[in-house]
Amino acid sequence: MKKRIVPFLASVLIIAAIPFLLPATDGNSTEKSANTNATQSAELPVVGSFANLQNLLKQERMKNSNRVFYAVAEMDASAPASGQAPSAPAYSTTNLQVQGVDEADIVKTDGTYLYQTTSQEIRIAQIYPANSMEVVSRISYDPGKFQPLEMFVDEKRMVVIGDSFADYFAASDAAKANVMPYENLHTVKVLVYDIADKRQPRLLRELDVEGNYLSSRKIGSSFYLVTNRYIDLYRVLENRQEDVPLYRDLAQGNQFRAVPYNEIRYFPENPAANYLLVAGLDLDDPADVLNVDAYLGGGENLYASRENLYVAVTHQTFVPTVPEIAIWPPPRPVVEDTKTVVYRFALKKGELSYSGKGSVPGRILNQFSMDEHNGYFRIATTSGNIRRTDEGTSKNNLYVLGKDMEIHGRLEGIAPGEKIYSVRFMQDRAYMVTFRTVDPLFVIDLHKPESPAVLGKLKIPGYSDYLHPYDEHHLIGFGKEAVADKDMAYYQGMKIALFDVSDVSHPVEKFNTVIGDRGTDSELLSNHKALLFSREQNLLAFPVTVMKLNEEQRAKRTIQDYGSFHFQGAYIYQIDLEKGFTLASTVTHLDPQDVLRAGSGWYQSEKNVRRILTIGDTLYTVSDSMVKAQQLSTHQPLATLKLVK
């Protein structure tokens, strides 16, 4: 199955990190243990003391007093289904960026059971066979203390990740002095369950890492959690109160532990007012204790291969703007230079070791802007400003970094005046979509890492927010149709396109279909985990909210008019290279009264379909409210399971 940051929401979060205002807290990060690796100690400097922490933060505030950070949450070959019994039918898995590197999601399946996170509980339901579906267990939580976000599932266990407010007084005496002076401590909690007995899951492990959840990965039994914890500058610089990050592993006791300054390292280019925390654990080793690495500096995007984790950080320098007369608000400073610094960490059994860094001009879009292949790291960026018309206008670039994290190849100045909307790396090629008024799809050759080159391009209306491989010579674009109007364009309905890149110098849009009118949207456009795709089954499915113009609106329509609510649910397509996209079925969890009451808009209802999956010849649509099963081959409804009590 196909899968997405971020939460994180894979979505773009813009955080104004002005030191004397509210905190900037999001980004992405690294992995594990700074305190046990001599190479890392030698490469990244150590904060060392409270006085040095103050000094670093003062320098950063003076240097970038009007700095702006851009954090993109996160986040496609499917990973093989793990733990599948020989007699069990084939089933879909989460749509992953890298095969073998699992990403947490709100719904998982093992081919018999469905595992689901909601805001208040975890549900385990037997859904195969469809005629005997039932909820077999629920794990409920106090919403004031813990809110599940997403999970991992394998043949042995279920790993639940969520926001938690820990008891302040559970902190150790040594750590209490460093806890923010609030009643509760905000952490990301990890609950590891033994699911051998699905009717009575058994809690094995409970972990807490302070901060906000950024992302996580699971590679075999190795689990990595990334959080970002804001540092209160006023508290540190003005009140001179110490501030260190906390964590807890109940296998080591109920008390929180502080990461001491001599084990906190910092990124010299960006010692921002954040702690980047990465926790690592080998889930197969009960004796393995949680290891937490702390880094002073913001992380924004995360990419992981099976061997390495890369953390991308945007670094900007500014030219202050000094008006001739005092005005309020003061003018924004001019960005003089923007670059992306990438830190690389080697991964092994929950252990992390720093192994190098590199930097490239410009800013990346999301995790799909990065890739590792044959020992090279590839990254696509946008530099400049799309609003400018001089030499400072936006340009798009692709860089290839070697094992030394130095630039070995570069391709710059692609599509001036536009910006990247999506990128997909596939072996020795990259596909890049840029947009301002039309959608150019660029085919880029990476066969020679030292000299990447554009092989061909295709200009069509609209744009793709997400690109997904169909096969070696075709890929699918998911985005919006658009209509140009002078120097800008207005997006319309959701567009799906099948691109043929067999002739790399002349890529073509072989098929396309447009769903609904302006306002139509899908979680897939910001979260790749919402996609179900199987080339073997000619199957493509995703959740969508469809907006349509009525007859009166259509008669008077302009390209700026939004449609009214028409449908929420799943669109299921048959896809092949002969006929393109054939809408085979639609499934909604709304009843007719829901639609009649909707009016012109819609909202995040518990009946909204969020994920679609398959087990054998059965297709399941999943919302917070219910699971609907239908036969995949005939699309005949089979059964419905109510999930709400």
φ, ψ (nearest 5 deg) of residue 424: -145, 125
Residue 562 lies in a domain: yes
Asked if 24 contacts 69 with a C-beta cutoff of 8 angstroms, the reply is: yes
Asked if 298 contacts 24 with a C-beta cutoff of 8 angstroms, the reply is: yes
Q: Count the neighbouring beta carbons within 10 Å of the beta carbon of residue 638.
A: 17
Residue 206 is predicted with a pLDDT of: 96
Q: Which of 112-116, 210-214, 239-243, 284-288 has the lowest mean pLDDT?
A: 239-243
The number of angstroms, rounded, from the C-alpha of 388 to the middle of its chain's C-alpha atoms is 30
Rounded Cα–Cα distance for residues 184 and 145 (Å): 9
- pLDDT(5) > 70: no
Helix (H/G/I), strand (E/B), else coil: 246: strand
* CA nearest neighbour of 354 among 293, 406, 277: 293
Domain residues for the domain of 626 are 517-645
Confidence of residue 190 (pLDDT cuts 50, 70, 90): very high
Q: Which two tokens stand for residue 100?
A: 């073998």
- The structural domain count of the chain equals 1
Residue 528 is predicted with a pLDDT of: 97
Q: Which of 141-145, 408-412, 569-573 has the lowest mean pLDDT?
A: 141-145
Please write the tens of the pLDDT for every residue from 390-440: 888 999 999 999 999 999 999 999 999 999 999 999 999 999 999 887 778
Residue 545 is predicted with a pLDDT of: 97
Residue 199 lies in a domain: no
- On whether the pTM is more than 0.75, the answer is yes
Q: Encode 610-625: b = buried (16+ Cβ within 10 Å), e = exposed.
A: bbbbbbeebbbbbbbb
Residue 556 lies in a domain: yes
Confidence of residue 21 (pLDDT cuts 50, 70, 90): very low
Asked if 307 contacts 352 with a C-beta cutoff of 8 angstroms, the reply is: no
Residue 156 lies in a domain: no
The number of angstroms, rounded, from the C-alpha of 575 to the middle of its chain's C-alpha atoms is 26
* CA nearest neighbour of 399 among 438, 437, 432, 440: 432
Sheet holding 274-282, edge to edge: 212-219, 222-230, 274-282, 291-296, 264-266
Q: Which two tokens stand for residue 34?
A: 């700074």
Q: List Cβ neighbours of 547 (8 Å cut-off, separation of 6 or more).
A: 493, 516, 517, 518, 519, 520, 521, 562, 563, 564, 565, 566
Confidence of residue 67 (pLDDT cuts 50, 70, 90): very low
Mean pLDDT of 196-206: 97
Q: Which residue has the higher pLDDT, 350 or 468?
A: 468
Mean pLDDT of 605-634: 97
Beta bridge partners of 219: 222
Q: Which of 51-55, 306-310, 596-600 has the lowest mean pLDDT?
A: 596-600
Residue 1 is predicted with a pLDDT of: 41
- pLDDT(3) > 70: no
Residue 151 lies in a domain: no
The number of angstroms, rounded, from the C-alpha of 135 to the middle of its chain's C-alpha atoms is 29
Instruction: Give percent of the chain with pLDDT exceeding 70.
Output: 83
Residue 185 is predicted with a pLDDT of: 85
Of all residues in the chain, what percent are helix, strand and coil, respectively (each to 5)?
Answer: 10, 50, 40
Residue 547 lies in a domain: yes
* CA nearest neighbour of 154 among 223, 90, 216: 223
Residue spans of alpha helices (H) in 150-293 = 173-176, 233
Residue 572 lies in a domain: yes
Confidence of residue 165 (pLDDT cuts 50, 70, 90): confident
Residue 360 is predicted with a pLDDT of: 97
Instruction: Give percent of the chain with pLDDT exceeding 90.
Output: 62
Asked if 382 contacts 365 with a C-beta cutoff of 8 angstroms, the reply is: yes
Tokens 């449908």, residue? 567
Q: What is the mean pLDDT of the chain?
A: 85
- pLDDT(169) > 80: no
Residue 613 lies in a domain: yes
Taken in order 411, 412, 416, 421, is the CA torsion positive or negative?
positive
Identity of the residue numbered 547: M
φ, ψ (nearest 5 deg) of residue 543: -80, 150
* CA nearest neighbour of 542 among 576, 471, 494: 494
CA 466 → CA 74, 104, 311, 365, 527, distances in Å? 13, 19, 21, 11, 9
H helix or E strand, kind and range, residue 100: none
- pLDDT(76) > 90: no
- pLDDT(469) > 80: yes
Q: What is the dihedral of CA 483, 5, 589, 539, to 10 degrees?
A: 70
Identity of the residue numbered 296: L
Q: Which residue has the higher pLDDT, 178 or 623?
A: 623
